[in-house]
Amino acid sequence: MATKEIPKHIGIIMDGNGRWAKKRLLPRVLGHKQGAKALDNLLHSAKGLGVEHITVYAFSTENWKRAEEEVSGIMGILRDYINKYFREYADSDFRVDSVGDLSALSEDLQRDIEALKEASKDKKGIHLTIAMNYGGRDEITRAVKKIAQEVKNGNIDVNDINEDMISQNLDSAGTPDPELIIRTSGEFRTSNFLLWQSAYSEYYITDKLWPDFNIDDFKDAINSYMKRDRRFGGRNEVVK
């Protein structure tokens, strides 16, 4: 039986900005800039579809290895993006959030992100989570440390640790797991994105480069998901 419900949470690996720029003989940072525009357009067009949570991979724990110029370019785009939302937040209904270890980001960026989270926390529109300095393994490691500390302090017993407790100690605590993860630019990798949360997510891979990805592509991904069989490791008893 095909899944009929629209996914409530969609994760997006926005890949291909560099290739988009290279094809046009432009610097990579301009590809990321165009990627930020594509995200903005998509978020505004996605209102009303019924998708409640969108998590986008903006900067991974591994992305620090890129050239300094590219890293500072992406940080500048993130800063502009957060500020743009801040200027618009009173009129906009997005709830903005983050996952990832923000402590490695510049202090002003950390402050702006925290202020935007606080200012938008009661908004009822799409819950947008930006993954910044994010790695799934890093997130799980930090959750394990928090839980170990609780055991050490005598607040919980080792036998109390269960999957739910681990979920509740991740950065994404309180947000349902994504039913669908979209990856652009044709790569078949998870790249350390939402490792714990994506245990049963459906993947949708498209060859489109992220700056070219638009609302029609987003709807194609959702339609593909809605036709799939989700069995969560069990068996589908319906004879087709």
Which residues have a catalytic role annotated?
A: 15, 63
Query: Contact region for ligand FPP (CB under 6 A) — 10-18, 167-175, 200-208, 222-230?
Result: 10-18
Query: Contact region for ligand FPP (CB under 6 A) — 35-43, 87-95, 145-153, 200-208?
Result: 35-43
Q: Among residues 7, 11, 12, 18, which is the contact residue for ligand FPP, using CB under 6 A? A: 18
Q: Among residues 77, 116, 182, 221, which is the contact residue for ligand FPP, using CB under 6 A? A: 77
Reported in sequence order, the residue ranges of 115-236 that DSSP labels E, i.e. its strands, are 127-131, 180-183, 202-205
Give, in order, the Cα–Cα distances in Å from 83 to each of 80, 110, 153, 185, 216. Answer: 5, 12, 40, 28, 28
Residue sitting closest to ligand FPP (CB): 18
Three state DSSP letters for 95-147: EEEEECCHHHCCHHHHHHHHHHHHHHCCCCCCEEEEECCECHHHHHHHHHHHH
Residue 41 parent element (H or E): helix 28-46
Distance, in Å, from the CA atom of 21 to the CA atom of 196, rounded to the nearest integer, reads: 32
Q: Does residue number 39 form part of the binding site for ligand FPP (CB under 6 A)?
A: yes
Distance, in Å, from the CA atom of 122 to the CA atom of 93, rounded to the nearest integer, reads: 9
Q: Does residue number 96 form part of the binding site for ligand FPP (CB under 6 A)?
A: no
Query: Contact region for ligand FPP (CB under 6 A) — 71-79, 101-109, 170-178, 222-230?
Result: 71-79
Residues near ligand FPP (CB under 6 A), total? 20
State the Cα angle at 231 between 227 and 237, rounded to 5°.
95
Q: Does residue number 73 form part of the binding site for ligand FPP (CB under 6 A)?
A: no
Q: Does residue number 63 form part of the binding site for ligand FPP (CB under 6 A)?
A: yes
For residue 8, what are the contacts with CB-CB under 8 A and spacing of at least 6?
A: 50, 51, 52, 53, 176, 179
Q: Does residue number 35 form part of the binding site for ligand FPP (CB under 6 A)?
A: yes
Residue list 152-181, contact with ligand FPP (CB under 6 A): none
Q: Does residue number 130 form part of the binding site for ligand FPP (CB under 6 A)?
A: yes
Residue span 180-199 as binding mask against ligand FPP, x where in contact by CB under 6 A, dash where not: -----x--------------
- Which is nearer to ligand FPP, 169 or 172 (by Cβ)? 172
Distance, in Å, from the CA atom of 120 to the CA atom of 51, rounded to the nearest integer, reads: 18
Q: Interface with ligand FPP by CB under 6 A: which residues?
A: 14-19, 32, 35-36, 39, 56, 58, 63, 74, 77-78, 81, 130, 185, 210
